[in-house]
């Protein structure tokens, strides 16, 4: 057995898992309060990567600035989208939200494709994170280690904010019964807007993480988002911790499949989804 | 489910409805009969295939309330198997088309059993994910030809008599298949089965309490819709003489949703009108590249925000309003 290659695939699995976790977390947070599946999530991740690229090449702001600023820029776009469009749909069938966000994803993708073509733009790894660690059994690039650790930290922070703080308590209460929470004097519509902005910000942050690993290209979000949907179906959207565990877990399983049976690596997550649907339709962590 | 539902329509005067449907059908029929005189017949045949695809999709969303975001898998599999049967197995054209539709039927049973376990948004995500799985399968499977697809499929002679290489003959054959599918959908909607389906869409718990096994009804609707989508894909393989990855890609699933939404979900004629508009738009804007995608996105947004009844839905609402 080639351990070097095995650990290499495991590392790629963990990286992919970080993105699955970050994106499905954002989807779960948005879904909890808005009851909308945000199809634009993949496009917003892509826009995040592009904003990082612009900040570097047009404004001279490097990776660390991008990490800080990008979520706010893309999140602000999200806030505008929520105020102008999504907020008109809450009284309708939830499927309309899906259709609207799908349309927005097409607009974003089409516009970036028109401007930049389908070839990827390079974004180099920041100097402070270049280099590799020799762990004895494998070489670990510093940047990849950073992405895994940072994603995990962001996931845990999000979990903490939602499950353990007063703000999170409001959020969970509004998910259960928005009318009652509003009667207690909490500005629920504003909370909904900010939640959408925060979810979109998470997607953009994932985009910045991804920029040095994958190339920055208009279609980087669309295939990823479909896998993330499968991850969400497998985990069920009931729990925040559930999304995190499922995201990382499926990334690792995908990595292992790439080593042991590469032909199935692109379909393994969908196969797992089918199996989960047969055994536990509400998802591993979902409630009926 | 709360609020306005997809495909929701007011109760109305049945005799007027019948007259309206007959009148609208007559207009549509005449338009399609005369079409080859005005546009390139090969393009007309493709229009018919996509109109059929949209009608099949509409059966599920408009009358069953189930939004499938993976219908390209049925269209694409129908297309691939028909092309394969005609080219490699050398089956005559009518049997090749039946092979394509039968494949989608089988695929519909398999995926339907999984997908109907969840409703609403989950149903949409599951169908999308299953279709993506099939896309990757088609990308790797040897018989699909991968990136190249199956090219130069022979049309042959229909029932050994009519030469389908004549574009006008091909057009009227596609029209006949379309009419058969359209008639079948019309029968399904107006049958007791269709009524139960509508009841499930309106209020599933109540339908269950009345003793209907709603899962079986939904599965039946899903399989019917999948089969007709496969029929559309198979006919397209003969018309375009190819089958490719475009047919199974998620953007194809999105396109059929768009056609139906624009034409009017849950209306009988809406999907046909929607398909005509979208396919013509793609045809005439083709050289503008990404603008096609952007325009499609804009149509989605405008339809959802301001125009939820679609073109035909708006016309119907206007006609009904005028009668009062």
Residue B11 is predicted with a pLDDT of 54
Confidence (pLDDT) at B7: 53
Which residues from B are below 8 Å from A88, CB to CB?
A: 305
Mean pLDDT across the stretch B39-60? 92
Give the span between the Cα atoms of B290 and A110, in whole angstroms.
5
Minimal CA separation from A34 to chain B, in Å: 13
Taking the CA of residue B109 and the nearest CA in chain A, the distance in Å comes to 14
Report the pLDDT averaged over residues A5-21: 91
The DSSP result for B156-212, as a single string, is: -EETTTEETTSHHHHHHHHHHHHHHHHHHHHHHHHSHHHHHHHHHHH-HHHHHHTT-
**Mean pLDDT value across residues A160-172:** 89
Nearest partner of A208 among A269, A131, A280, A129, judged by Cα: A129
pTM for this entry = 0.91
Q: Where are the alpha helices (DSSP H) in chain B?
A: 14-34, 41-64, 72-87, 93-115, 120-140, 167-190, 192-202, 204-209, 214-240, 250-263, 270-285, 290-306, 310-323
Three-state secondary structure call for residue B9:
coil
- Looking at every residue in chain B, the average pLDDT score rounds to 88
**Best-predicted range by mean pLDDT (A210-214, A228-232, B223-227):** B223-227
State whether residue A17 is helix, strand or coil.
helix
With a cut of 50, say whether residue B1 has pLDDT above it.
Answer: no
The minimum CA-CA distance between A110 and chain B, rounded to whole Å, is: 5
- pLDDT for B6: 59
pLDDT at B3 over 50: no
**Is residue B47 pLDDT above 80, yes or no?**
yes
Residues in B closer than 8 angstroms to A95, CB to CB, are 6, 67, 120-121, 124
CA atoms of A205 and B309, how far apart (whole Å): 37
The DSSP secondary structure of A127-184, one letter per residue, reads: GGG-SEEE-SSSEEEHHHHHHHHHHHHHHHHHHHHHHHSHHHHHHHHHHH-HHHHHHT
Give the residue on A whose Cα is nearest the Cα of B294.
A107
DSSP state of B288: G
Per-residue pLDDT at A198 exceeds 60: yes
| C-alpha to C-alpha distance for A26 and A41, rounded to whole angstroms | 8
For residue A237, the model assigns a pLDDT of 78
The two structure tokens encoding residue A9: 């695939």
A117 forms bridges with which residues in the sheet?
Answer: none
Task: Taking residues B111-135, report their average pLDDT.
Answer: 89
Confidence of residue B263 (pLDDT cuts 50, 70, 90): very high
Query: Does the pLDDT at position B2 exceed 60?
Result: no
Model confidence band, residue A73 (pLDDT cutoffs 50, 70, 90): very high
- Rounded to whole angstroms, how far apart are CA atoms B205 and B209? 6
Predicted pLDDT at A124? 84
Residue in the block written with tokens 């149903």: B123
Inspect the interface and report whether the beta carbons of B129 and A96 lie closer than 8 Å: no
| The predicted structure's pLDDT at residue B324 | 66
What percentage of chain A reaches a pLDDT higher than 70?
99
pLDDT in tens, A247-256: 999 999 999 9
Residue A282 pLDDT more than 90? no
Mean pLDDT computed over B160-167: 78
- What pLDDT does A84 receive? 93
B267 in contact with A at a CB cutoff of 8 Å? no
Burial of B71 (0-12, 13-18, 19+ CB in 10 A): buried
Triad A241, A243, A245: Cα angle to 5°: 70
pLDDT, position B5: 55
Task: Give the mean model confidence (pLDDT) for residues B281-298.
Answer: 86
Inter-chain Cβ pairs, chain A and chain B, closer than 8 A: 138
A24 pLDDT band, cuts 50/70/90, is very high
Average pLDDT rounded to a whole number, residues B225-244: 93
Residue B8: pLDDT band with limits 50, 70, 90: low
Q: What number is the average pLDDT over the span A226-243?
A: 86
Any idea which of A84-88, A171-175, A254-258, B99-103 has the lowest mean pLDDT? A171-175
Helix ranges (H only) for chain A are 3-34, 41-57, 63-84, 95-116, 142-164, 166-176, 178-183, 188-210, 222-235, 240-260, 268-279
Nearest-Cα residue of chain A relative to residue B260:
A99
- Residues of chain B with Cβ-Cβ distance to A99 below 8 Å are 257, 261, 300, 303-304
Task: Scan residues 65-124 of B and list those with Cβ closer than 8 Å to A.
Answer: 67, 69, 114-115, 117-118, 120-122, 124
Ordered domains of chain A (ranges, CATH): 3-114+128-279 (1.10.3470)
Calpha distance A110→B280 (Å, rounded):
19
Report the pLDDT value the prediction gives residue A33, as an integer from 0 to 100.
83
> Which of A225-229, A235-239, B34-38, B73-77 is most confident?
B73-77
């Amino acid at each position: 057995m080639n351990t070097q290659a095995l650990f290499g695939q495991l590392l790629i699995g963990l990286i992919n898992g970080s993105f699955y976790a970050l994106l499905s977390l954002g989807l779960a947070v948005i879904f909890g309060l808005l009851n909308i599946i945000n199809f634009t999530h993949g496009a917003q991740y892509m826009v995040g990567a592009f904003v990082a690229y612009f900040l570097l090449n047009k404004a001279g702001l490097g990776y660390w600035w991008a990490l800080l600023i990008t979520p706010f820029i893309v999140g602000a776009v999200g806030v505008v989208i929520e105020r102008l469009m999504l907020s008109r749909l809450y009284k309708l069938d939830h499927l309309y939200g899906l259709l609207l966000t799908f349309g927005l994803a097409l607009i974003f993708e089409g516009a970036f494709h028109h401007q930049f073509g389908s070839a990827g733009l390079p974004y180099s790894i920041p100097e402070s994170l270049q280099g590799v660690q020799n762990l004895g059994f494998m070489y670990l690039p510093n940047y990849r280690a950073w992405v895994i650790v940072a994603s995990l930290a962001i996931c845990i922070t999000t979990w903490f904010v939602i499950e353990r703080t007063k703000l999170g308590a409001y959020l969970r209460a509004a998910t259960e019964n928005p009318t009652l929470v509003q009667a207690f004097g909490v500005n629920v519509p504003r909370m909904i807007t900010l939640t959408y902005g925060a979810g979109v910000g998470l997607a953009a942050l994932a985009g910045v993480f991804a920029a040095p690993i994958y190339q920055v290209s208009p279609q980087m979000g669309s295939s990823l988002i479909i896998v993330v949907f499968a991850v969400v179906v497998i985990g069920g959207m009931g729990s925040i911790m559930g999304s995190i565990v499922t995201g990382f877990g499926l990334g690792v399983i995908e990595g292992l499949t790439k080593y042991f049976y590469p032909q199935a690596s692109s379909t393994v997550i969908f196969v797992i989804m089918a199996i989960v649907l047969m055994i536990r339709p509400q998802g591993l962590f979902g409630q009926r | 489910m709360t609020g306005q539902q997809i495909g929701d329509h007011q109760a109305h005067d049945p005799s007027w409805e019948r007259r309206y449907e007959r009148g609208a059908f007559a207009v549509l029929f005449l338009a399609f009969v005369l079409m080859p005189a005005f546009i390139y017949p090969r393009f007309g045949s493709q229009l018919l295939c996509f109109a059929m695809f949209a009608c099949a999709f509409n059966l599920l969303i408009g009358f069953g309330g189930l939004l499938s975001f993976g219908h390209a898998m049925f269209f694409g599999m129908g297309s691939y198997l028909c092309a394969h049967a005609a080219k490699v197995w050398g089956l005559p054209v009518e049997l090749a088309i039946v092979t394509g539709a039968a494949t989608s039927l089988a695929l519909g049973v398999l995926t339907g059993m999984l997908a109907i376990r969840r409703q609403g948004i989950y149903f949409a995500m599951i169908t999308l994910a299953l279709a993506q799985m099939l896309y990757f399968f088609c990308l790797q499977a040897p018989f699909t030809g991968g990136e190249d697809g199956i090219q130069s499929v022979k049309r042959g002679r229909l029932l050994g008599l009519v030469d389908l290489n004549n574009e006008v003959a091909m057009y009227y054959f596609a029209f006949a298949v379309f009419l058969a599918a359209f008639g079948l959908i019309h029968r399904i909607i107006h049958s007791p089965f269709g009524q139960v389906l509508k009841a499930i869409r309106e209020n599933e718990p109540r339908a269950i309490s009345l003793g209907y096994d709603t899962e079986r009804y939904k599965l039946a609707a899903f399989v019917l819709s999948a089969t007709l989508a496969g029929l559309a894909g198979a006919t397209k393989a003969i018309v375009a003489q190819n089958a490719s990855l475009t047919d199974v890609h998620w953007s194809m699933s999105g396109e059929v949703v768009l056609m139906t939404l624009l034409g009017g979900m849950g209306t009988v004629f809406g999907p046909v009108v929607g398909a005509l508009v979208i396919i013509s738009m793609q045809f005439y804007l083709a050289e503008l590249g990404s603008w096609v995608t952007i325009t499609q996105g804009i149509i989605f947004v405008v339809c959802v925000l301001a125009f939820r009844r679609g073109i035909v839905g708006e016309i119907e609402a206007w006609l009904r309003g005028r009668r009062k």
